[in-house]
Amino acid sequence: MSRDGVVETCNMSRDGVVETCNMSRDGVVETCNMSRDGVVLTCNMSRDGVVETCNMSRDGVVETCNMSRDGVVLTCNMSRDGVVETCNMSRDGVVLTCNMSRDGVV
C-alpha cells in the first residue's frame, strides 16, 4: 500500500497476474482504476448517504459494484460471469486495506 497525496494504491498479485487499484479522493467522488492484464476498469463512485453503486461494462459484460459504508468499512461485491469478487477496504487514518477474494480464494 502506498499513498501519494490523495491517491492510494493497492497492488495485488494472483498467480503471477498483477492487479492494481488506484483510489483517489476528490471531494465526494472516489475513483478506482482496476488494471488486470492490461485491461483497465474505471469505477467512479459518488457518496450519497451510505450506498455507493458503480456499474461497469467490459466486453459487453456488465459488472455491478455495490458499495456499503458502515463506519469505516467499505465492502465491494463484484459479480462477473457468476464469479463473485469481494474487496474489503478499511480506513484507519491513512491506511486502506484491500482484500481481494475470488470464490473464497484470496
pLDDT tens sequence across 63-94: 555 555 554 445 555 555 555 565 555 554 44
Q: Calculate what percentage of the chain has a pLDDT beyond 70.
A: 0
State the total domains in the chain.
1
With 0.85 as the threshold, say if the pTM is over it: no
Residue 97 sits in which domain range? 2-102
C-alpha cell at 80: 462477473
Model confidence at 23: pLDDT above 50: yes
Among 1-5, 9-13, 79-83, the least confident range: 1-5
CA distances from 43 to 5, 34, 63, 79 (A): 20, 8, 10, 14
Mean local confidence (pLDDT), 39-51 = 52
